[in-house]
Every structure is written in C-alpha cells, then in structure tokens.
C-alpha cells in the first residue's frame, strides 16, 4: 500500500479505526478475534491504527497494544484524550476534561495500556470549552518535549480553534467525520488544513456502515449499538438516504468494485493528505476496504458523483444532539 503524509507523519493511505472492537456497535468480539483482525490489517499493508481512551473506556487501548506489540516499530498508533473519565477506575463522568494536569496523567496511563514508550499521534478528542486551547496545546508540547508523544492532533475542532492551537504546537492532523454524505469539513476545515500543511483523518468514512450498501430501512441493531439513537439511522432516514447508496452502487457496478470501495476511493481522490480510517470487525471487510486504493475514479466519474450528490438531501443529523453540540468548538 502507498503512504500518505499527515503533516510530517508518514502513514498508509488507508488506516484502521478500532472503535468497533469496543461495544459501540453492540456485543464486541473476543480479544483473540479482534487481535486477528487488527494484525490482519497490518499484514495487508495498514500501518496507521486509531484508538482512544474512551473506547471501553481503556479496554480498546489495551487490545490495540497487544495486537500491535510484535510490529510496534512498523506502525503509527494514534490515541485520544479529553473526556471526563476517572483515570483509576475508568468510570465516566459528565462532560469533558482537558486540564493540562489531567492530559499529562491520562497520557501516562495510555502509554501503560498501549505498552509503548511514545504515542505517535495524540488527539484532543473534543474541545473542552473550559480550558483555553493554548493550554491544551502547551500541555501536549510538554509531552512532545519529554518524548512521550510525537505529534499533536485535534478532533472535531472549529477552524479558529485549530489555528490557535497550531500557533502553540504544530497540529499534525485534524480528525473529523467526513464522507460523501457528511461534507461539512469542506467549508472551512479542509481549506485551513491545506493552508497550514495539516493532514486530515476521516473517521466514519463509510457512514457507520450505511455506505457499504448492507444496511437498509429493515435492518435491526442491537440495543447497545450507538446507531439505535442516531438520527441518521432512523428507519425513515435510512429509507430517505438510500439514494446515496444507489449512486455508489451504480459506480461500483461499472468499476467491478463494492460500494464501500467507491466511497473510500472518492475520499482518496479529494486531497492527497486525506487518510480515511474505516473500521470493521471482519478481516474480509478489511481486505475489501483496502481494495479501494486500487479503484480508479476518472474526472468524469467524480463529476457525475458531484452532480448527483448535489441533488440529494441527506436526512438526519450525523450524531445525536448531545454529542453534536461538542463538535465545531
């Protein structure tokens, strides 16, 4: 697989998001199966793996650390801080916590859970309005100076916040939800990243599975699956949004590809510094997703997609309101 640059950081052009091995999508698979899939992703060329302290909490980082231990020096590991989690018990409390002292203590525990000496890319998961972003960037700068972190990232941050953070500590990557049906980042964030030389990591590049074409209005989810409470996954929204899946399916049929591959190939065509991190619990799906790198979308294909998508009104907010309010700060 080819590499791409997130700022000065070299990563595979398609990464792997590991959140699905927590319980966000219902009952998680066994650790053994999860490790098999994560290592399988590496064996198929992935060198960029994404986790976070809140996935579990904590259990996902431990899992990723175990899975990647034998190949630690061949991969880039990203994790995230920022939620108000008791660092001893893992108990979640309301709100966010990006106080500098908390960031530093949280990072020490991340290093232990991941069983590594340095976190390659450390993101603030959501912007904490009670802590100046300059203080957050300064805390991460200290961690970089101490050799505990290599690169700084921000997730779901507003353009002005990114610029202010970047003035204190270089922001290597911004991670936002971005796909052919979630394109708000095109308004301000992508232009800013291009201006400042910041890489962009696309989370949920397959629309939490919807863009694969394997979910429709009749699909049922486990009660613990976050999509049960997601406005965009109501039965009506899934029915209304089928038009975008139909578009991907029609292009896929012409290219002898899958809808998922077309959705990822579209992302790869947007900018050379965009890296999607699809997640899946199945190794065959990993292999399928990575096949997107070999799909060639012509200028005519991209124009057709742009014109068709411009006529489609996506139904449903991308996240529940309470979580959505924590974005774009």
- Contacting residues for 77 by C-beta, under 8 A, at least 6 apart: 49, 51, 64, 68, 114, 116, 119, 120, 121
Q: Does residue 55 have an active-site annotation? A: yes
Q: What is the pLDDT along the chain (329 residues), one digit of tens a residue?
A: 999 999 999 999 999 999 999 978 888 899 999 999 999 999 999 999 999 999 999 999 999 999 999 999 999 999 999 999 999 999 999 999 999 999 999 999 999 999 999 999 999 999 999 999 999 999 999 999 999 999 999 999 999 999 999 999 999 999 999 999 999 999 999 999 999 999 999 999 999 999 999 999 999 999 999 999 999 999 999 999 999 999 999 999 999 999 999 999 999 999 999 999 999 999 999 999 999 999 999 999 999 999 999 999 999 999 989 899 999 99
Prediction pTM value = 0.98
Q: Alpha-carbon distance 309 to 161, whole Å?
A: 30
| Phi, psi (degrees; rounded to nearest 5) at 274 | -100, 130
CA distances from 259 to 37, 178, 179, 180, 306 (A): 21, 16, 13, 12, 16
Over its C-alpha atoms, the chain yields an Rg (Å, rounded) of 19
Fold of 3-209+270-295: TIM Barrel (3.20.20)
Tokens 């204190």 map to which residue?
Answer: 168
Domain ranges for the chain, please list them: 3-209+270-295
Give me the catalytic one of 25, 55, 123, 178.
55
Q: What separation, in Å, do the N-terminal and C-terminal C-alpha atoms of the chain show?
A: 35
Omega before 57 within 30 of 0, i.e. cis = yes
Residue pair 201/154 in contact (Cβ under 8 Å)? The answer is: no
- Two structure tokens written together for 206: 């397959």
């Amino acid at each position: 697989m080819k590499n791409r640059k997130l700022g000065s950081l070299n990563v595979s052009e398609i990464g792997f998001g590991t959140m699905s091995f927590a319980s966000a999508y219902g009952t998680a698979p066994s650790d053994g199966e999860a490790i098999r899939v994560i290592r399988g992703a590496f064996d198929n060329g992935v060198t960029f793996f994404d986790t976070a302290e809140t996935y579990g909490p904590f259990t996902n980082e431990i899992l990723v650390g175990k899975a990647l231990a034998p190949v630690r020096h061949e991969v880039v590991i990203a994790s995230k801080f920022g939620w108000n989690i008791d660092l001893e018990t893992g108990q979640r409390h309301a709100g966010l916590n990006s106080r500098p002292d908390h960031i530093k203590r949280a990072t020490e525990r991340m290093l232990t859970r991941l069983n590594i000496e340095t976190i390659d890319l450390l993101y603030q998961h959501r912007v904490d309005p009670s802590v100046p972003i300059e203080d957050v960037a300064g805390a991460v700068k200290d961690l970089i100076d101490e050799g505990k972190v290599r690169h700084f990232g921000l997730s779901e941050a507003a353009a002005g916040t990114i610029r202010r953070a970047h003035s204190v500590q270089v922001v290597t990557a911004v991670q936002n939800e971005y796909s052919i049906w979630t394109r708000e980042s095109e308004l301000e964030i992508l232009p800013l990243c291009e201006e400042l030389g910041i890489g962009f990591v696309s989370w949920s590049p397959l629309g939490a599975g919807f863009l694969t074409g394997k979910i429709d209005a009749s699909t049922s989810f486990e009660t613990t699956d976050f999509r049960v409470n997601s406005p965009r996954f109501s039965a009506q929204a899934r029915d209304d949004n089928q038009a975008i899946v139909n578009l991907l399916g029609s292009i896929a049929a012409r290219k002898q590809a899958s809808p998922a591959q077309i959705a990822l190939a579209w992302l790869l065509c947007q900018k050379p510094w965009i890296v999607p991190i699809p997640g899946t619990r199945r190794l065959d799906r990993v292999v399928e997703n990575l096949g997107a790198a070999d799909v060639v979308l012509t200028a005519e294909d991209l124009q057709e997609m742009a014109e068709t998508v411009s006529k489609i009104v996506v139904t449903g907010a991308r996240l529940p309101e309470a979580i959505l309010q924590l974005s774009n700060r």
